[in-house]
Amino acid sequence: MNDKINIEVVYALPDEQILLKRSVPTGTTVAEAIRASSMLDKHPEIDLTSNKLGIFGKLTKADVVLRDQDRVEIYRPLIADPKEIRRKRAEEGKVMKKGGGDV
């Protein structure tokens, strides 16, 4: 039985996407894989206690054990709340329609 699995660790910035491929021991957790990838050395702003983590786009916890070919994703905090932005856009649209000008 193979005692290593192949994984990817991904972190995206507004102008750059970093994808690191690694071979890690079977039984490695999400957090261990991120530490082993050297991503934290390159991007010290990543905080494993506050950044959300995922595997192939699905949120996961740091202590989840990885499987072969998993892609670990490190998510950045949102700058703005999407619900609040949609609400503001909807309000602006209502205001524009009320004063539509000459017809």
What tens digit of pLDDT does each residue of 34-48 get? 999 999 999 999 998
Are 55 and 71 within 8 A, CB to CB? yes
Residue 91 has pLDDT above 90, yes or no: no
pLDDT of residue 88: 80
Q: In what order do the strands lie in the sheet with 16-25?
A: 16-25, 4-13, 71-74, 53-55, 58-60
Q: Map out the domains of the chain as residue ranges.
A: 4-98
CATH architecture of the domain formed by 4-98: Roll (3.10)
Instruction: Indicate the pTM of the whole model.
Output: 0.73
Residue 61 has pLDDT above 90, yes or no: yes
pLDDT of residue 41: 93
